Amino acid sequence: MSFRFALVGNPNSGKTSLFNEITGNTQYVGNWPGVTVEKKEGRAKKIKDDVKIIDLPGIYSLSPYTLEEIIARDYLVDEKPDVVINIVDATNIERNLYLTTQLVELGLPVVIALNMMDEVEAAKDKIDIDALAKSLGIPIIPTVATKGRGVNELMQKSLQIAQTAAVGSATGKSLNIFNKGIEKYITEAESALAAHLQDIPFNPRWVALKLLEGDLKIIDRLNLPGKLLQEIGQRRDMLEEEYGSDAETIIADARYDFISGIVKKTIERKRSQGALSTSDKIDKVVTNRLLAIPLFLAVMFVVFRITFGALGSFTIDWVDALINGTIAGTINGWLEALGAAEWLHALIIDGILAGLSSILVFVPQIMILFLFLAFLEDSGYMARAAFIMDRLFKRLGLSGKSFIPMLMGFGCSVPAIMATRTLENEKDRRLTIILTPFMSCGAKLPIYALFAGAFFANNQSLVVFSIYLLGIVIAILSGIILRKTVLKGEPTPFLMELPPYRIPTGKGLLIHMWDRGKGFIKKAGTVIFAAAVFIWFFQTFNFSLKMVEDPANSILGVIGRGIAPIFSPLGFGDWKSAVAIFTGLLAKEVVVTTMGILHGLGEVTESSTSLIGAMQTYFTPLKAYAFMAFTLLYMPCIAAFGVIKREMNSWKWTWFAVGFQTAVAWLVAFVIYQVGSLLGF
Amino acid sequence: MNKVKMPLGFLQSGREGTVKEMHGGNNMCRRLAGLGITCGSRVGVISNNAGGPLILSVKESRLALGRGMALKIMVEEE
């Protein structure tokens, strides 16, 4: 038989680890809230039956006020999975059960995976699992998702539940959460609904509760008669009157009372709530008012120092020697032996190989950077970075939470823009989407490596670090401007969970690094490969499709000369730079590919002297810096553009975003070049 | 002992309090409830540096809470 199991749980409770363990996938797992922003599907391995596993975004409750909660709730109520696997973090049961009490009310079969049991054991805490299961009326399977412990039992149990549910013996049960006083109003609301059951595709008790809470989403969806809503509204007023608070608060308080009653009876903790853990002690230092920002900058600097220092250069030389020495030599030999035509020879060696090698040499460096980012995220430091930045961001009209998508932007803007879904407020989201591409993504790294290597050989890592900082500073300044103009408003108050620090596992780091880095290798084989052929072709032929002697007369040359004047005030008004900026919209690495093909013609990599020599005739260090600043800031690549469109859900905002970014890029490069020239650089 | 109500933001590092009133508006209260702060919850202050957000211990977890919000939650110090 075929079944669907949905994984639901708080952010950072180990859902993605469990998903990977069940399906054998290697999804990336982070140590900060909000890793899964979209639902993911996989197929359970090691099980005969056909079981689809759906990993839903991490949520704290089923109230529909953030996008993630809406995605998760809509899935549960509309698709009605056969079993809901609720992952509960055993080190934080009380808070996690708040969601559980709401899941049970949906009327779907629920099974709890009590995760992170190893940490409970290490702390010598005791949980009476049988008693807990009995008080909740739900089966509980203890698990350690990261080590695969309990996963088989969990699947067997879920399967068993799904099979019984399929023959109709299991129905949703309700917990005795509410006292008689509140229960009375729920029952009344439920009986008021009884006449409209045919219009309600959900569990009526759950709907009654939601209507009593005044859940606007449900009211909108069900389209119930106004008289009924009015009647339930009266019940709500009476409830609020009786308990002296608003309905939602009364219900939330009742849930926590119910939970704390159970927890008292079934759990014995060694440490008291406020006792300082190791994590707290680290936080005392890391978030210290005076130390926090210098420490953050120092951490980032060390990362860039290593990535762009000796280790980075070594990997570049190694790949360069491999491709341009060994591989190019071999292919050259073959082509000569086959007696290939001159144009084919040129296409393969000068076009494809030159274009690809200009990117592939940087792949190890990108991987090193991603390994560090993975370490920072998996250890829990990223969440602290958001905390540290809130002090600064608040004054700029942004919430510190916006800093997390922005930091992810150092990897790639596409997932970073998707991560803005964790922001609750629409304006905060739009603003963060516009600012995130200012964070220098991995694809721009080859551009800096090329230019910094050619013009700032002695302090390469410092120059690249300054470009990354420039991105952050420009994002902050743009944030202030946009907040005062088109996106007026207060930022949402800062509120997020700080997960405990964890020592990342080697396996976790590698999965994470590979998950992000593989995209760049894939791109090299597809988009960049195609771009290299395209660029070679258009710089070799003119509009009458004749091979040209001087590439300046080629198709690209003519187009480039047409748009180049726009960039003259920025210091790089030559047609080759103009073409590189234009083709860079396909993917930012293509800027380097283009430079490689247009300048190098043959032996082309960052370390090859011919390209550096050629570039040095076009650029000065000042012009090179202005060029790097422009490529850092201007309109992101097509893939990011697509995601901006999807997440903004508006063409107007999408064009505004990329228009703004490009205008800022032009202005910043202009200031750098003009002021720099005045100062005599 | 006479207990005084005061904003959570005034509690110093290392102190604990019980939440008595929340004045953040519905949306904020919902988010706080999801993360474990409702009326009657015990909240400990792990760190409270002037001007920045606070680190709180709520149930078994640690929360970062902006100062503005921390001033709208009234607690009784334990």
What is the pLDDT at residue A600? Answer: 64
Give the residue with greater pLDDT, B66 vs A524.
B66
Does an H or E element contain A227, and which? helix A226-243
Instruction: Domain B5-77: give its CATH code.
Output: 2.30.30.90
Number of domains in chain A: 3
pLDDT at A66 over 70: yes
Comparing A106-120, A431-445, A611-625, the range with the smallest average pLDDT is A611-625
d(CA A210, CA A251): 10
What is the pLDDT at residue A350? Answer: 76
d(CA A402, CA A302): 24
Q: Give the pLDDT band (50/70/90) at residue A26.
A: low
What is the pLDDT at residue A172? Answer: 47
Check whether residue A581 and residue A477 sit in a common domain: yes
Token reading at A194: 């009884």
Check whether residue A264 and residue A328 sit in a common domain: no
Provide the phi-psi class of A490: left if phi over 0, else alpha when psi is between -120 and 50, else beta. beta
Residue A171 lies in a domain: no
Among A32-36, A508-512, A611-615, name the most confident range: A508-512
Token reading at A104: 């049970």
Residue A628 lies in a domain: yes
Chain B residues with CB under 8 Å of A61 CB are: 30, 33-34
Q: What is the longest distance spanned by two Cα atoms in chain B?
A: 35
Residue A224 lies in a domain: yes
Among the three residues A166, A190, A213, which one is the final residue of a domain in this structure? Answer: A166
Q: Is A321 exposed, middle or buried (0-12, 13-18, 19+ CB in 10 A)?
A: middle
Sequence ranges of the domains in chain B: 5-77
Over residues A499-522, the mean pLDDT reads 84
Check whether residue A215 and residue A357 sit in a common domain: no
Among the three residues A268, A283, A307, which one is the final residue of a domain in this structure? Answer: A268
Which residues, 6+ apart, have CB-to-CB distance to A441 below 8 Å?
A409, A410, A411, A412, A413, A416, A588, A636
Among the three residues A115, A137, A166, which one is the final residue of a domain in this structure? Answer: A166
Residue A280 lies in a domain: no
For the stretch A396-409, pLDDT in tens is 778 888 888 888 88
Residue A217 near chain B (CB below 8 Å) = no
pLDDT at B1 over 60: no
pLDDT at A158 over 80: yes
Check whether residue A233 and residue A317 sit in a common domain: no
What is the pLDDT at residue A198? Answer: 80
Interface test with B, best of A281, A288, A495 (most B CBs within 10 A): A495
What is the pLDDT at residue A216? Answer: 84
Residue A175 lies in a domain: no
Check whether residue A355 and residue A206 sit in a common domain: no
Give me the CATH number covering residue A199. 1.10.287.1770
pLDDT at A456 over 60: yes
Check whether residue A253 and residue A330 sit in a common domain: no
Check whether residue A421 and residue A387 sit in a common domain: yes
Check whether residue A216 and residue A330 sit in a common domain: no
For the stretch A527-580, pLDDT in tens is 888 888 888 888 888 888 888 878 888 999 999 999 999 999 999 999 999 999
Q: Count Cα neighbours of A667 within 13 Å in the Cβ-side half-sphere.
A: 9
Contact A61 B63 (CB under 8 A): no
Contact B68 A493 (CB under 8 A): yes
Over residues A92-100, the mean pLDDT reads 94
Does an H or E element contain A4, and which? strand A2-9
What counts of helices (H) and strands (E) characterise chain A? Answer: 33, 9
Residue A405 lies in a domain: yes
pLDDT at B2 over 80: no
B residues 17..56 contacting A (CB < 8 A): 22, 24, 26-36, 38-42, 44, 46-47, 49-53, 55
d(CA A44, CA A473): 46
What is the pLDDT at residue A171? Answer: 46
Nearest 5°: phi and psi at A234?
-65, -40
Token reading at A306: 């290593």
Quote the domain boundaries for residue A90.
2-166
Comparing A37-41, A74-78, A644-648, the range with the smallest average pLDDT is A37-41
Check whether residue A439 and residue A550 sit in a common domain: yes
Check whether residue A313 and residue A226 sit in a common domain: no
pLDDT at A252 over 60: yes
CB A17 within 8 A of CB A29: yes
Over residues A140-144, the mean pLDDT reads 95
The label of the residue with tokens 């008012």 reads A289
Chain A residues with CB under 8 Å of B44 CB are: 273-274
Check whether residue A223 and residue A349 sit in a common domain: no
Comparing A77-86, A264-273, A598-607, the range with the smallest average pLDDT is A598-607
Token reading at A464: 């690249």
Over residues A155-166, the mean pLDDT reads 87
d(CA A384, CA A613): 44
Q: Name which of A101, A83, A468 is nearest A305 in CA terms.
A: A468
Does an H or E element contain A61, and which? none
Which residues, 6+ apart, have CB-to-CB distance to A622 below 8 Å?
A571, A672, A673, A676, A677, A681
pLDDT at A174 over 70: no
Over residues A306-321, the mean pLDDT reads 81
Residue A662 lies in a domain: yes
Chain B residues with CB under 8 Å of A92 CB are: 59-61
Q: Give the pLDDT band (50/70/90) at residue A201.
A: confident
Residue A559 lies in a domain: yes
CA quadruple A668, A670, A673, A674: dihedral, nearest 10: -120
d(CA A303, CA A306): 5
Q: Where are the alpha helices (DSSP H) in A37-79?
A: 67-74
